[in-house]
Structure 1
Amino acid sequence: MQKLRFESSWDKTLSAKDRERIKQVFLETSTTTNTSSHFLAPLWQAINHKGDLLMTVLVHNFDNQALSFHNKKLRYIENNKVMAEHIFTLPSLTIEYETSMPWTFIFPAKKWNSHTVLENGHLEVVN
């Protein structure tokens, strides 16, 4: 059975409103019929003061083994068009089997299309 987990720093700093949104998205997407071993459910996106694109998602690991992000290429897609692409190596991010956890992926300013409107987009892992 899928369980929701928060990384300790998130657990300490997350607002009640954001925590509730994450729980709602978890309830809506944790029993997906998606045949993939993992799924990235969009939560919110933003651009920081350095011009980096921040994509916050709920990472679902439906597999029976831990999921890590070591040299994983992710793409942000809007209207079937790749708007950002970057290879991530995140040693501190390991998601246990049958676990979901929110995470923010940061695409450096030079790695995303400035025509991005941050609406109706999603992240996908490129194998």
Structure 2
Amino acid sequence: MQQLRLEPAWDRTLSTNDRQHIEHIFQETKHIQNSRISFSPIREAKNHSEALLITVLIHNGTDQPLTFHNKRLKYKIRDEVIGDYLFTLPELSVPSNVSMPWTFIFPKGSYMRNVPFENGELNII
């Protein structure tokens, strides 16, 4: 059975509204993660250095921990690739049958800048 888990820093700093939003997304999506890895969108934004921030709920429905060492992620909107970046995040490990929120940061130059970036989907390649 899928469980929601927060990384300790997220657990300490999440606002009540954000926590409720994430819990709602988890309740709506936890049943569709059978034996696979998927991402449920939470929010998208750009920061002060023009990096694209894609916050998702990572669902690891597999029987193996999910790590991010040289994992290529693509951010798509209507099948068009908007962002493409190779991530190595030693601090991120999602245990088997766990869902965890995370923000993936696509640096300036790794995504198309002059297109809308809302309502996309994130995929592991």
TM-score bucket (shorter structure):
over 0.9
Instruction: Give the letter aligned to residue 60 of structure 1.
Output: H
Equivalent residue for 1:120?
Answer: 119
Whether the 8 Å contact between 2:34 and 2:61 is mirrored in structure 1 is no
Unmatched runs of 5 consecutive residues or more in structure 2? none
**How far is the alpha carbon of 1:36 from its aligned partner?**
5.5
**How far is the alpha carbon of 1:79 from its aligned partner?**
1.7
Equivalent residue for 2:19?
Answer: 19
Runs of 4 or more above 3 Å deviation: none
Whether the 8 Å contact between 2:76 and 2:82 is mirrored in structure 1 is yes
**Residues in 1 aligned to 2:77 and 2:94: alpha-carbon distance in whole angstroms:** 26
Equivalent residue for 2:9?
Answer: 9
Unmatched runs of 5 consecutive residues or more in structure 1? none
Equivalent residue for 2:62?
Answer: 63
**Residues in 2 aligned to 1:117 and 1:17: alpha-carbon distance in whole angstroms:** 25
**Residues in 2 aligned to 1:108 and 1:36: alpha-carbon distance in whole angstroms:** 31
- The answer to whether residue 76 in structure 2 is matched with residue 77 in structure 1 is yes
Equivalent residue for 1:99?
Answer: 98
Whether the 8 Å contact between 2:83 and 2:110 is mirrored in structure 1 is yes
Equivalent residue for 1:46?
Answer: 45
Instruction: Give the letter aligned to residue 42 of structure 2.
Output: L
TM-score by length of 2: 0.96
**How far is the alpha carbon of 1:62 from its aligned partner?**
0.2
Instruction: Give the letter aligned to residue 5 of structure 1.
Output: R
**Residues in 2 aligned to 1:82 and 1:65: alpha-carbon distance in whole angstroms:** 28
Is the alpha carbon distance of 1:83 and 1:22 closer, same or farther for their aligned partners in structure 2, counting shifts above 3 Å? same
Whether the 8 Å contact between 2:43 and 2:54 is mirrored in structure 1 is yes
